[in-house]
């Protein structure tokens, strides 16, 4: 339990204790005060009116203070939740945009060397998604399922890298060597092995705008961001296109 929640529950009890002590102390003081007045004054009636007025004032003050404390604690929890959800939305967008940058580079130069160079960005996108998964404000939200769908999609690229590592490394080295000789004044033509030659459906779909837009990563992103916007009570902007 948070410190705010604990304070919210204990505050009313504290006020009741303070109220009781104040009544006792002030009641005693009033009794001593009225004990010295003349016989023409109805001490009991005056004392009763005094205690009634004092008790009413303390009840109103204590009740109002307890209400304001609970209200402030509730507002603090709501603000903390909004900050957490906003941070998760930011991480979700970062993951999507990072993957889009990887796609942009691979579409421009779909070779093993480019894939290996951009692998770190795919890992970074996974890290962003894991941060969204760990948001305590989303523990019972469909967002976690949608994020897991996005992670599963990236796992397909990771599995391709693992299964094709030897060939990727060899072909990338050949490509880098050809570029080095060309830059050194050679006349060698650089003909890198295209990723399409690897026959991976995952990579082919990743490079295709249409397939990526309809794929699990994009649809998972749209669904997850929609849920977070709904939780924030904010109207979702127009869908981000792949």
Contact in structure between 93 and 24 (CB atoms under 8 Å): no
Residue 12 lies in a domain: yes
Note the pLDDT of residue 159.
Answer: 95
Q: How confident is the model at residue 1 (pLDDT cuts 50, 70, 90)?
A: very low
Does residue 86 or residue 63 have the better pLDDT?
86
SS3 72: helix
Residue 15 lies in a domain: yes
* Average pLDDT for the chain: 81
Residue 97 lies in a domain: yes
Spatial distance between the Cα atoms of 213 and 219, rounded to a whole number of angstroms: 7
Question: pLDDT tens for residues 70-99?
Answer: 777 777 777 788 888 999 999 999 999 999
Average confidence (pLDDT) over 111-138: 93
Give me the domain span that covers residue 136.
3-232
Residue among 162, 151, 242, 168 at smallest CA distance from 205? 242
Question: pLDDT tens for residues 158-195?
Answer: 999 999 999 999 998 988 887 677 677 666 666 788 99
Whole-model pTM: value is 0.70
Q: How confident is the model at residue 11 (pLDDT cuts 50, 70, 90)?
A: low
Residue 19 lies in a domain: yes
Residue 239 lies in a domain: no
Using the predicted structure, report yes or no on whether residue 4 has a pLDDT greater than 70.
Answer: no
Note the pLDDT of residue 178.
Answer: 77
What is the total count of domains within the chain?
1
Residue 47 lies in a domain: yes
Average confidence (pLDDT) over 56-78: 73
Provide CB contacts within 8 A for 110, sequence distance 6+: 194, 195, 196, 207
Note the pLDDT of residue 67.
Answer: 72
Does residue 155 or residue 174 have the better pLDDT?
155
């Amino acid at each position: 339990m948070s410190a705010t929640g604990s304070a919210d529950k204990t505050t009313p009890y504290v006020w009741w204790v303070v109220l009781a002590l104040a009544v006792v102390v002030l009641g005693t003081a009033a009794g001593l005060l009225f004990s010295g007045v003349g016989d023409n004054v109805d001490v009991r009636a005056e004392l009763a009116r005094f205690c009634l007025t004092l008790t009413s004032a303390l009840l109103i003050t204590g009740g109002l203070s307890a209400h304001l404390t609970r209200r402030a604690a509730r507002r603090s929890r709501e603000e903390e939740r909004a900050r957490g959800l906003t941070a998760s939305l930011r991480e979700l967008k970062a993951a999507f945009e990072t993957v889009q940058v990887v796609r942009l580079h691979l579409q421009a130069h779909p070779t093993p060397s480019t894939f290996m160079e951009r692998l770190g960005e795919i890992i970074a996108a996974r890290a962003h998604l894991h941060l969204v998964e760990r948001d305590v404000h989303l523990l019972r939200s469909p967002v976690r399922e949608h994020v897991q769908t996005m992670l599963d999609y990236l796992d397909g690229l990771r599995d391709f890298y693992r299964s094709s590592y030897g060939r990727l490394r060899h072909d990338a080295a050949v490509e880098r060597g050809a570029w080095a000789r060309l830059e050194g004044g050679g006349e060698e033509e650089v003909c890198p092995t295209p990723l399409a030659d690897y026959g991976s459906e995952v990579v082919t779909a990743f490079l295709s705008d249409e397939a990526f837009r309809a794929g699990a990563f994009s649809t998972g992103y749209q669904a997850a961001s929609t849920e977070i916007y709904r939780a924030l009570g904010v109207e979702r902007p127009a869908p981000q296109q792949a």
